[in-house]
């Protein structure tokens, strides 16, 4: 079979070859009449545009690389689906790569993405060093961090306001008259973990309360279970726990109820962070800080497109407030309503 070319489609449709190119180029201008004739001719001939060939001519692949560390947390699969759909609506395809939470793994993945001539890179749930970011900038490939930040300000990032969220959780628990308040965090290298804990400690300090106990769950359900068991050994136990993600909070609640026979919230109040779908299930009914993924995705895509169109545009760190969603896993202080 002979390959169907844009020239053949143009002849069948009675238009120029450049008109065919415009019809199949996202964002290009073509009249409705031309679009209809070209698409009818393309369907009759079985024509498919050569995206790779076009990228060699334009220098744009229309591909965004997406780097993800893990998908265990319910928050990320849903957010990444929204990211993919939003970028697709703008005429971009998404190339997903998995990486571990270490610089070497991330560096290898970034190098591969640069080989694919991607137009931009979005990292989600993964740490990225300043050196890697600088390498991307030198290659003319913008990077936007989703739900992560780094100390450098030359990149763009979109997160929830993790510090404020942690502070809000502390205020809620303190006003509910809890005295032995503990914290279970995520991976120490994650900016989300760092900022949520910092905000939580600041909120406790404002109320004149010291953190009763502390552990890192490393965003792992098994680790979260283990550190929960360790927290509740001894005569004096926590009466409230703030957990850095809902994903870990579910495991904490399972241990408290099933293994330790404790009542939530009568014996222990539990607050999570993310507001993933299972948080509203009757089995958990989790009070949590909601990450507004729709707003986070919208801002991430906007920043990426701005950077692609104008590499000199100022980088921004956008923080989106996380409202506290009050359910039944924590005692509700006076003045707060469900």
pLDDT (mean) for 179-200: 94
Confidence of residue 22 (pLDDT cuts 50, 70, 90): confident
- Please give the residue that has the higher pLDDT: either 48 or 224: 224
Confidence of residue 160 (pLDDT cuts 50, 70, 90): very high
Interval 50-60 mean pLDDT: 59
CB 135 within 8 A of CB 113: no
Q: Edge-to-edge, what's the strand order for the sheet holding 240-243?
A: 213-216, 181-185, 240-243, 269-274, 287-290, 324-325
Asked whether the beta carbons of 139 and 297 are under 8 A apart, the reply is no
Model confidence at 110, in pLDDT bands (50, 70, 90)? confident
pLDDT at 193: 93
Q: Bigger pLDDT: 155 or 307?
A: 307
pLDDT greater than 90 at residue 140: no
Question: For residue 151, what pLDDT band results from cuts at 50, 70 and 90?
Answer: low
pLDDT, position 101: 64
Residue 49 pLDDT: 74
Rounded to whole angstroms, the Cα distance separating 135 from 201 reads 36
Q: State the average pLDDT over residues 303-308.
A: 94
The pLDDT of 83-109, averaged and rounded, is 83
Structure tokens belonging to residue 338? 């469900």
User: CA separation (Å) from 200 to 147, 187, 335?
Assistant: 18, 16, 20
Give start and end residues of each alpha helix (H) in the chain.
6-13, 17-23, 32-45, 51-58, 75-89, 103-115, 130-138, 162-175, 191-206, 221-231, 246-254, 293-309
Instruction: Specify the higher pLDDT residue, 133 or 171.
Output: 171
Residues 161-185 have pLDDT tens digits of 999 999 999 999 999 999 999 999 9
Lowest mean pLDDT among 111-115, 169-173, 199-203, 331-335: 111-115
Residue 6 structure tokens: 């844009």
Domains of the chain: 6-49 (no CATH), 59-160+292-320 (3.40.50.2300), 162-291 (3.40.50.2300)
Q: Which residues contact 186 (CB under 8 A, 6 or more apart)?
A: 192, 193, 196, 216, 217, 218, 219, 244, 245, 248
Better-predicted residue by pLDDT, 188 or 129: 188
Choose between 225 and 118: higher pLDDT. Answer: 225
Residue 93 vs residue 199, higher pLDDT: 199
**Average pLDDT across the chain, whole number:** 89
**pLDDT recorded at residue 70:** 76
| Rounded mean pLDDT, 153-166 | 90
pLDDT of residue 202: 98
- pTM for this structure? 0.82
Question: pLDDT category, 59, cuts 50, 70, 90?
Answer: low
User: For position 329, what pLDDT does the model report?
Assistant: 98
Greater confidence, 45 or 228?
228
pLDDT in tens, 205-263: 999 999 999 999 999 999 999 999 999 998 999 999 999 999 999 999 999 999 999 99
120, 63 Cβ separation under 8 angstroms: no
For residues 24 and 256, the model is more confident at: 256
Distance CA 246, CA 293 (A): 14
Highest mean pLDDT pick, 96-100, 184-188, 191-195, 253-257:
253-257
Query: How far, in Å, CA of 6 to CA of 275, rounded?
Result: 49
């Amino acid at each position: 079979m002979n390959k169907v070319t844009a020239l053949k489609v143009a002849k069948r449709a009675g238009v120029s070859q450049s008109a065919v190119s415009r019809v199949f180029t996202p964002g290009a201008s073509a009249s409705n009449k031309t679009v209809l004739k070209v698409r009818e001719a393309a369907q009759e001939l079985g024509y498919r545009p050569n995206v790779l060939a076009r990228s060699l001519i334009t220098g744009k692949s229309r591909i965004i690389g997406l780097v993800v560390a893990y998908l265990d947390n319910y928050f990320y699969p849903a957010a990444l689906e929204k990211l993919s759909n939003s970028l697709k609506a703008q005429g971009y395809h998404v190339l997903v790569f998995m990486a571990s939470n270490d610089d070497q793994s991330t560096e290898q993945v970034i190098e591969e993405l640069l080989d694919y001539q991607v137009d931009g890179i979005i990292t989600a749930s993964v740490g990225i060093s300043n050196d890697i970011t600088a390498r991307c900038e030198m290659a003319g490939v913008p990077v936007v961090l989703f739900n992560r930040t780094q100390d450098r300000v030359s990149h763009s990032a979109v997160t929830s306001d993790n510090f404020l969220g942690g502070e809000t959780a502390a205020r809620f628990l303190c006003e509910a008259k809890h005295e032995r308040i503990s914290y279970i965090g995520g991976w120490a290298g994650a900016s989300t973990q760092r900022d949520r804990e910092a905000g939580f400690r600041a909120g406790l300090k404002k109320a004149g309360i010291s953190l009763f106990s502390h552990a890192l769950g490393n965003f792992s359900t098994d680790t979260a279970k283990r550190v929960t068991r360790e927290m509740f050994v001894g005569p004096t136990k926590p009466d409230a726990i703030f957990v850095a993600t809902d994903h870990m909070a579910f495991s904490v609640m399972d241990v408290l109820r099933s293994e330790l026979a404790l009542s939530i919230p009568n014996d222990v109040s539990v607050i999570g962070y993310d507001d993933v779908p299972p948080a509203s299930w009757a089995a958990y009914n989790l009070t949590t800080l909601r990450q507004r993924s729709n707003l986070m995705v919208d801002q991430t895509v906007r920043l990426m497109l701005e950077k692609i169109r104008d590499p000199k545009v100022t980088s921004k760190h956008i923080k989106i407030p996380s409202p506290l969603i009050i359910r039944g896993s924590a005692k509700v202080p006076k003045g707060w309503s469900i």
